[in-house]
Amino acid sequence: MNRAQSYREKTQAAREVQAKEIPLPSGMMVLAARIDLVDWLSTGMLPQVFVEEVLKIVEDGRKPTSSEVLRRAKGKAIIESLIFMRNIVQATLVSPRLVMRPDPEKDEIAPHELTKEDFAFIFQWQMAGAPDIPVPMKGGKQTSVGALRKFRRRRAVPNSRADKQKVRTAA
């Protein structure tokens, strides 16, 4: 086994440990994992229209969420959005894997084999932050996505270029 194969096996095993079985509208069960928007940015997997929206949100002094980025980019790039959605679902599914040319002997399916309802459900589940999967915290603790959403009810402090009054008001 070469290093690339070893690396793939190790990362797949880690994804499986962090993944959770979720029921789909069709009644099927899949093993799904949370993905990180920052990872997508750093690897160039995010379409340019989304990168622009992420940068605008960061410039406002806020942390971008995938659902906000998609909402803001709506209508700007339909094809890019559809491909992005497929890539999100593909990255989310641990088992069965979503691949363009599935091997019938492996745990793989093609995008056209998912019902529209299942596809939309998986995508929305990921955009909601994969709420069924606990979020790891420092010290080995875990919390829910819902608890994190409630953590900061007030608006974040404006960016460093904001005037002093805006910073005082926000704080």
What is the C-alpha separation between 106 and 42, in angstroms, rounded?
30
Per-residue pLDDT of the chain (171 residues; tens, 9 = 90+): 899 999 988 888 888 878 899 999 999 999 999 887 677 767 777 777 777 888 888 898 888 776 777 777 776 667 777 888 898 899 999 999 999 999 999 999 999 999 999 999 999 998 888 887 777 778 877 776 666 656 555 555 555 555 666 555 655
Q: Which DSSP helix (H) or strand (E) runs through 108?
A: strand 108-109
What is the C-alpha separation between 101 and 106, in angstroms, rounded?
11
Q: Where are the domains of the chain?
A: 3-133, 134-171
What is the C-alpha separation between 80 and 125, in angstroms, rounded?
20
**For tokens 């992420």, what's the residue?**
54
Question: What is the predicted pLDDT for the residue at 147?
Answer: 62
The DSSP code sequence of 2-42 is -HHHHHHHHHHHHHHHH-EEEE-TTS-EEEE----HHHHHH
Q: Which of helix, strand or coil describes residue 107?
A: coil
What is the C-alpha separation between 171 and 165, in angstroms, rounded?
10
Q: Which of helix, strand or coil describes residue 134?
A: coil
> Exposed/middle/buried for 154, CB within 10 Å: 0-12, 13-18, 19+?
exposed
- Contact predicate 163/156, CB 8 Å: no
Q: For the whole model, what pTM was predicted?
A: 0.66
